[in-house]
Amino acid sequence: MKPPETVRALVDFANIPPDSTELVHHIEEVDIPLADPRQCTHHDTLCAHCAHTWTSQHLFTESLPWGKQYRNTTDP
Ligand SMILES: [Zn+2]
Protein backbone atom coordinates (compact mmCIF):
# COMPACT_ATOMS: atom_id res chain seq x y z
CA MET A 1 0.00 0.00 0.00
CA LYS A 2 1.27 3.43 -0.91
CA PRO A 3 1.03 6.20 1.68
CA PRO A 4 -1.67 8.72 0.89
CA GLU A 5 -0.46 11.30 -1.57
CA THR A 6 -1.18 14.94 -1.31
CA VAL A 7 -0.98 17.89 -3.60
CA ARG A 8 0.10 21.29 -2.39
CA ALA A 9 -2.09 24.27 -3.09
CA LEU A 10 -2.47 27.89 -2.11
CA VAL A 11 -5.80 28.93 -0.68
CA ASP A 12 -7.03 32.43 -0.13
CA PHE A 13 -8.93 32.59 3.15
CA ALA A 14 -10.11 36.08 2.41
CA ASN A 15 -12.38 37.62 5.00
CA ILE A 16 -13.69 40.94 6.22
CA PRO A 17 -12.68 41.58 9.83
CA PRO A 18 -15.51 42.72 12.15
CA ASP A 19 -13.94 46.16 12.62
CA SER A 20 -13.36 46.73 8.93
CA THR A 21 -15.16 46.93 5.64
CA GLU A 22 -12.21 45.86 3.58
CA LEU A 23 -11.52 42.36 2.47
CA VAL A 24 -8.30 41.00 3.94
CA HIS A 25 -6.54 38.30 1.97
CA HIS A 26 -4.93 35.53 3.89
CA ILE A 27 -3.04 33.10 1.69
CA GLU A 28 -2.23 29.74 3.18
CA GLU A 29 -0.50 26.71 1.81
CA VAL A 30 -2.35 23.47 2.29
CA ASP A 31 -1.81 19.83 1.44
CA ILE A 32 -4.89 18.27 -0.06
CA PRO A 33 -5.06 14.50 0.16
CA LEU A 34 -5.55 12.73 -3.13
CA ALA A 35 -8.08 9.94 -3.32
CA ASP A 36 -9.19 7.29 -5.70
CA PRO A 37 -12.15 8.72 -7.67
CA ARG A 38 -14.33 5.86 -6.38
CA GLN A 39 -13.55 6.73 -2.75
CA CYS A 40 -13.16 10.46 -3.03
CA THR A 41 -15.55 12.62 -0.99
CA HIS A 42 -14.93 15.50 -3.46
CA HIS A 43 -14.82 17.65 -0.36
CA ASP A 44 -11.96 16.69 1.92
CA THR A 45 -10.09 14.78 -0.73
CA LEU A 46 -9.23 15.46 -4.32
CA CYS A 47 -9.52 13.25 -7.35
CA ALA A 48 -9.39 13.74 -11.09
CA HIS A 49 -13.16 14.02 -11.23
CA CYS A 50 -13.48 16.90 -8.79
CA ALA A 51 -10.18 18.69 -9.39
CA HIS A 52 -11.92 21.32 -11.49
CA THR A 53 -14.17 22.24 -8.55
CA TRP A 54 -11.11 22.88 -6.39
CA THR A 55 -9.42 25.21 -8.82
CA SER A 56 -11.87 28.05 -8.17
CA GLN A 57 -10.49 28.48 -4.66
CA HIS A 58 -7.18 26.68 -4.81
CA LEU A 59 -4.07 27.38 -6.79
CA PHE A 60 -2.17 24.15 -7.17
CA THR A 61 1.54 24.66 -6.74
CA GLU A 62 2.29 21.10 -7.78
CA SER A 63 1.18 19.43 -10.95
CA LEU A 64 -1.63 16.98 -10.44
CA PRO A 65 -0.49 13.39 -10.83
CA TRP A 66 -2.93 12.50 -13.56
CA GLY A 67 -1.99 15.47 -15.70
CA LYS A 68 -3.45 16.15 -19.09
CA GLN A 69 -3.52 12.56 -20.19
CA TYR A 70 -6.12 11.62 -17.63
CA ARG A 71 -8.23 14.69 -18.31
CA ASN A 72 -8.41 13.82 -21.99
CA THR A 73 -9.96 10.48 -21.15
CA THR A 74 -12.66 11.98 -18.95
CA ASP A 75 -13.51 14.99 -21.06
CA PRO A 76 -16.13 14.54 -23.77
ZN1 LIG B 1 -13.13 13.83 -6.00
Instruction: Name the residue among 65, 1, 2, 73 with its Cα closest to residue 32.
Output: 65
Q: Specify the pLDDT at position 76.
A: 54
Distance of CA 32 to the CA centre of its chain: 6
Q: How far apart are CA 30 and CA 2, in angstroms?
A: 21
53 C-alpha vs ligand 1 centroid, how far in Å?
Answer: 9
User: What are the tens digits of pLDDT across the range 17-59?
Assistant: 999 999 999 999 999 999 999 999 999 999 999 999 999 899 9
Q: Specify the pLDDT at position 44.
A: 93
64 C-alpha vs ligand 1 centroid, how far in Å?
Answer: 13
3 C-alpha vs ligand 1 centroid, how far in Å?
Answer: 18
16 C-alpha vs ligand 1 centroid, how far in Å?
Answer: 30
Dihedral, CA of residue 62, residue 68, residue 71 and residue 72, to nearest 10: 180
Q: Which residues pair with 34 in a beta bridge?
A: 46
Which residues fall within 8 angstroms of residue 76, CB to CB, at 6 or more apart? none
